[in-house]
Amino acid sequence: MIKRFPMPMPFGWFGVSYSDELAPAASRAIHYFGKEMVLFRTEGGKAVVLDAYCPHLGAHLGHGINAEHGEGGRIQGETIVCPFHAWRFDGEGVCAEVPYAKNMPPKVKDKQCLKSYPVQEKNGVIWVWYHPEESQAPLWDVEEHEEATSDEWSDFEKHEWIIKTHPQEMGENAADPAHFHYVHKVADFPVWESVQDGHKSHGIQRADMKTPKGVVKGEIHTNNAGPGQAWTRFYGIADTFLLAQITPIDQETTHVRFGFKQPKSEENMMKAGVNKAIIKDICKQLNEDKPIWENKIYRPLPVLCDGDGPIAKFRKWYKQFYADWDGAS
């Protein structure tokens, strides 16, 4: 099989669930970063992510019979109960109880025996910090957005895709103005400016948007904080906020969640048809990119022309999210 990408897994904060899709005392298996993990919410409301396999006999904490909540281990207070023999683990991955043992095995007594991943719950999303060096603490915080928490904005309209590509390849899209014309049939090549600042990047594109009322001059403000968190504000005829979660499942597969919000104001309600059209057009663009992404290879030294965008600049910025790759092929 052809290895399409030399890039390893990038590090950063990655969305693994919307908050409203994990009730208190629910648990389930999640599979990201090429790892098996269990996601649960304690009775107290805290979201926790642990490595999945029980140190006892290796059961997956995210798969069992838990009729009441989800499909994983039962939640008891602030702990998860292994579905196999009921050993209990707290949010730090420390074994809290072996219910049928007279003495706790010294290997697990008061010790962390499962990796616990840093979690931040912000913007209605549960974010997990992934880094290939497990002891590396988070290097920045998840960005918070007023649009995602304010009552003046609608609930998320959710769309999601599983795409056979590496997240860097998707990010490169925004540094590639020419494809907007040929893939997305945007009338002009959008003008593109971007500023990079540490783990963040901010860009403004001026692009025409197709609506039922004809073509409208639009402005798109794109933002990234690391490889996993991206958000976009669309200005034009209607305000739209898009929170994107770009989460690698493995090195060649990416889970993309798009959550759209629009202001609830009356004026905006009147434009509801146009608003929907904008969301539809953005999702259509992703569907148009998908077959290209799923079949292309990564060219470490592409042949570029003077009409191409700042591809090299984008790649240089993205490279900082690899702990163990220098950007060469």
Q: Which residues contribute to the site for ligand FES (CB under 6 A)?
A: 54, 56-59, 82, 84-85, 87
Rank residues 84 and 322 by Cβ distance to ligand FES and give the closer one: 84
Minimum gap (Å) between residue 266 Cβ and Fe ion: 33
Minimum gap (Å) between residue 65 Cβ and ligand FES: 14
CB contact at 8 A, 170 and 222: no
Select the binding partner of residue 173 from Fe ion, ligand FES, none (C-beta < 5 to 8 A, by kind). Fe ion
**Which amino acid, one-letter code, is at 79?**
T
Rank residues 264 and 280 by Cβ distance to Fe ion and give the closer one: 280
What token pair was written down for 16? 């693994």
Rank residues 38 and 186 by Cβ distance to ligand FES and give the closer one: 38
Select the binding partner of residue 82 from Fe ion, ligand FES, none (C-beta < 5 to 8 A, by kind). ligand FES
The Cα 87–Cα 79 span in angstroms is: 10
Rank residues 30 and 246 by Cβ distance to ligand FES and give the closer one: 30
Select the binding partner of residue 289 from ligand FES, Fe ion, none (C-beta < 5 to 8 A, by kind). Fe ion
Cβ partners under 8 Å of residue 146, min gap 6 = none
What token pair was written down for 125? 């999303």
Minimum gap (Å) between residue 73 Cβ and ligand FES: 9
Rank residues 54 and 277 by Cβ distance to ligand FES and give the closer one: 54
The Cα 81–Cα 126 span in angstroms is: 21
Rank residues 29 and 207 by Cβ distance to Fe ion and give the closer one: 207
The Cα 194–Cα 185 span in angstroms is: 22
The closest residue (CB) to Fe ion is 289
- How many residues sit close enough to Fe ion to count as binding (CB under 5 A)? 2
CA-to-CA dists, residue 101 to 16, 170, 225, 280, angstroms: 35, 51, 47, 57
What distance separates the 2 farthest-apart alpha carbons in the chain?
75
DSSP 244-297: EEEEEEETTEEEEEEEEE-B--HHHHHTHHHHHHHHHHHHHHHHHHHHHHHH--
Select the binding partner of residue 84 from ligand FES, Fe ion, none (C-beta < 5 to 8 A, by kind). ligand FES
Rank residues 32 and 314 by Cβ distance to Fe ion and give the closer one: 314
DSSP 85-106: T--EEETTSBEEE-TT-SS--T
Residues 254-313 binding Fe ion (CB under 5 A) are 289
Select the binding partner of residue 115 from Fe ion, ligand FES, none (C-beta < 5 to 8 A, by kind). none
Residues 134-173 binding Fe ion (CB under 5 A) are 173
Select the binding partner of residue 275 from Fe ion, ligand FES, none (C-beta < 5 to 8 A, by kind). none
The Cα 313–Cα 101 span in angstroms is: 58
Q: Which helix (H) or strand (E) holds 235?
A: strand 229-235
Residues 166-195 binding Fe ion (CB under 5 A) are 173
Select the binding partner of residue 323 from ligand FES, Fe ion, none (C-beta < 5 to 8 A, by kind). none
Task: Tell me the sheet residues that pair with 69.
Answer: none
Task: By CB under 5 A, name the binding residues for Fe ion.
Answer: 173, 289
